[in-house]
Amino acid sequence: MTQIKSNKPKVAVIGMGNIGTTIATNLVKGNRPVIVADRKMEKATGLAKKLGALVQPMDIPATIKEADIIVLAIWFDAIKELLHKYATELQGKIIVDPSNPIAPDDKGGFKKIIGENESAGEILSSILPTKAKLAKALGTLGVASLAAAAFRHAETAVLFYTTDDTSINEDIEQLIRDNGFEPVRVGGINQSIRIEVFGDLHEFGALGKTVTAAEVKEKLHPQLFI
Ligand SMILES: NC(=O)c1ccc[n+]([C@@H]2O[C@H](COP(=O)([O-])OP(=O)(O)OC[C@H]3O[C@@H](n4cnc5c(N)ncnc54)[C@H](OP(=O)(O)O)[C@@H]3O)[C@@H](O)[C@H]2O)c1
């Protein structure tokens, strides 16, 4: 398989479901090579076949070894398991968590599966492998908006992120731009609850929609940034 050269850090997406395939598709539109993986290898190879040479399918262990930035596009409990299972291999990697800690309720909606005042970001931060760096990102919009609002020419839509490690801001912001969005850092991981489902800056929370950088500046700034 042809290796696509890029001078940017190597990015991978693990989990070829709704969000993972949308992120990989956006990255290809942004001309960024991406490694894709799933526990079912055929999902990764199928997407690579569909999206072309910028996409390289690998199994999960090889993906973790190869990539610098790893987007874990899987459910919250599966992320916890994966961080535990690959604790050694994930050392020093940038881990991107788009998860929302929710599950279907019995009324056709969703409920939080962690405490009301807890966030997935903070819980994952507390079990992070040594020297791994965590950003909460790419999860502030539902999958439909993540696909439809990417690469808008006139008014670029925003994706919010949080991280405690400001040395990775540039990497996360480039990743968001390569997905077709404008990055806005909300603060440290302790602000993650705001950008997860039901939070005040989530499409399925008080914000209720996609916003542009101009709207963020005019309406949400300065109380947005902690
Ligand atoms: N959908 C949205 O609108 C949305 C928006 C923002 C954030 N998110 C977050 O994104 C994450 C994924 O959501 P989704 O809607 O994309 O879910 P999904 O469509 O169910 O996809 C999850 C994918 O991950 C795979 N997977 C599960 N466990 C795995 C593991 N341990 N290792 C590797 N792959 C694994 C699944 O494969 P199998 O087929 O084998 O189960 C499936 O392909 C969740 O945390 C969710 O909260 C979703």
pLDDT tens digits along 86-126: 999 999 999 999 999 999 999 999 999 999 999 999 999 99
What is the average pLDDT across 172-193?
97
HEC string of the chain?
CCCCCCCCCCEEEECCCHHHHHHHHHHHHCCCCEEEECCCHHHHHHHHHHHCCCEEECCHHHHHHHCCEEEECCCHHHHHHHHHHCCCCCCCCEEEECCCCEEECCCCCEEECCCCCCCHHHHHHHCCCCCCEEEECCCCCCHHHHHHCCCCCCCCEEEEEEECCHHHHHHHHHHHHHCCCEEEEEECHHHHHHHCCCCCCCCCCCCCCCCEHHHHHHHHCCCCCC
**pLDDT score of 176 more than 80:** yes
Mutate to test the pocket of ligand 1, among 14, 16, 19, 136 (most ligand atoms within 8 A of CB): 19
CA nearest neighbour of 156 among 74, 221, 217, 111: 217
pLDDT category at 213 given cuts 50, 70, 90 is: confident
Q: Tokens in use for 156? A: 């670029």
Ligand 1 mean position, distance from CA 183 (Å) = 23
What is the average pLDDT across 131-153?
97
* Cα–Cα distance measured from residue 125 to residue 123, given in angstroms and rounded to the nearest whole number: 5
pLDDT category at 153 given cuts 50, 70, 90 is: confident
Q: Tokens in use for 176? A: 């968001």
> Looking at per-residue confidence, does 5 or 23 come out higher?
23
For tokens 């968001």, name the residue. 176
pLDDT tens digits along 11-54: 999 999 999 999 999 999 999 999 999 999 999 999 999 999 99
Position 148 scores a pLDDT of 97
For tokens 């912001």, name the residue. 173
Ligand 1 pocket residue status of 72, Cβ below 6 Å: no
Ligand 1 pocket residue status of 85, Cβ below 6 Å: no
Ligand 1 mean position, distance from CA 11 (Å) = 18
**pLDDT score of 225 more than 90:** no
CB atoms within 10 A of CB 204: 17
pLDDT tens digits along 119-136: 999 999 999 999 999 999
Ligand 1 pocket residue status of 61, Cβ below 6 Å: no
Ligand 1 mean position, distance from CA 179 (Å) = 18
> Looking at per-residue confidence, does 88 or 154 come out higher?
88
Position 178 scores a pLDDT of 98
Position 3 scores a pLDDT of 57
